[in-house]
Structure 1
Amino acid sequence: MAAPSPWILRFAPLVLAGGPVLDLACGGGRHGRLFLARGHAVTFLDRDLGGVADLAGDPAASLIEADLEKDGPWPLAERQFAGIVVTNYLWRPLFPLLIAALQPGGILLYETFARGNERFGRPGNPDFLLTPNELFERCKDALEIRAFEQGPDEQPYPAMRQRICAIKR
């Protein structure tokens, strides 16, 4: 399994100790597993939970299988999280739901691909690439921005990325 993102590792300590965490579009759960190891209850959400099936018996892990890009209700209803982690995934209609799902003082850690990534390979579809400053613009009214980066990145492989660490006011 891939190592956790350095961005997520850097800001993970800001999430309230023991507070619930959402690993959205979790894949193999590399970030949710990081938070489990730090003593958090973690909700792993993805359209395919095969990568985290081994966590099914863990009382601190909640597994939710849902395709968020299909019409249907938000599967987390009124749940609130001390931390929400999203990496390598973009579905713009989720931004208001993610912000609403953060408890006051909750941390959003988001890192995904940006325009210009098409020169490196996939994803290359503009629907799945952030425009310049997009993460900042989507978060600035409801969240306090602690850190924001955008541009070329070499780790774990060459890509154009944007990253944000933001706290709900």
Structure 2
Amino acid sequence: MHGFGAPSPWVMRWSHLLPEGGSVLDIACGAGRHMRWFAGRDHVVTGVDRSPEAVAAASHFGRVLQADIESGPWPFAGEQFDAVVVTHYLWRPLLPRIVAAVAPSGVLLYETFAAGNESVGKPSRPDFLLRPGELLAASAGLRVVAYEDGFLDDPARFVQRIAAVRPAGASARYPLEAPPRQLTITPRL
């Protein structure tokens, strides 16, 4: 179970984008490392994980739900949050729902493993690795503030990560009305 360590440097770096006291949804929250980070900054936090142990640990930081979001219903239908945080988790069928959960003026902070990671370790199955530009494409309709797609050292891994904001007054559409464009941008890290 992930979550007992420090928050992701990417999440910490871009957390200033959400409004003071804003609501945060942490998807696949583990033991709540990001919930702890945001709760400590006076945000209202919600986490979801399928592990009962993870939910028990994360419950110290805010509202938690134990749910299998891959095979069960989406537990946040109709809800939006000032920030949606996802790290080290990928289930492609949920990407449109995750993006739709970002409120107007809200931020998506997403970081997970990318293609190429199979050459340095786990995860190595394509099901768990973002394809080039996939996170950008999934975030269509949001204004990208920062995006990285490449190799990081210590530990060695390939990642994609994005910080993107839903413009004020823009509404979320789910399901997406048109498939997003595939873009490939690989900045130097």
Q: Normalization by structure 1: what TM-score?
A: 0.92
Aligned residue in 1 for 2:12: 9
> Do structure 1's residue 142 and structure 2's residue 118 form an aligned pair?
no
- Off by >2 Å, runs of 4+ in structure 1: none
Aligned residue in 1 for 2:174: none
Measure, in 1, the Cα distance between the counterparts of 2:98 and 2:53: 23
Give matches, 1:34-113, under 5 Å.
34-56=37-59, 58=60, 61-70=62-71, 72-113=72-113
Cα displacement string for residues 51-110 of structure 1 (whole angstroms, at most 9, x for unaligned residues): 341453x5x61110111111x321112111000000000001111111211110110000
Determine if contact 1:115/1:132 at 8 Å carries over to the other structure: yes
Superposition CA RMSD, Å: 1.3
Letter in 2 for 1:138: A
Structure 2 unaligned spans of 5+: 168-189
Aligned residue in 2 for 1:22: 25
Percent identity between matched residues is: 49
Aligned residue in 1 for 2:115: 115
Determine if contact 1:27/1:49 at 8 Å carries over to the other structure: no
What is the DSSP-based 3-state SS (H/G/I as helix, E as strand, rest coil) of the residue aligned with 2:108?
Answer: strand
Deviation at 1:158, TM superposition (A): 1.0
Letter in 2 for 1:14: L
Measure, in 2, the Cα distance between the counterparts of 1:21 and 1:14: 12
Deviation at 1:50, TM superposition (A): 1.4
Count, aligned residues = 164
Determine if contact 2:7/2:34 at 8 Å carries over to the other structure: yes
Structure 1 unaligned spans of 5+: none
Measure, in 2, the Cα distance between the counterparts of 1:77 and 1:150: 30
Q: Normalization by structure 2: what TM-score?
A: 0.83
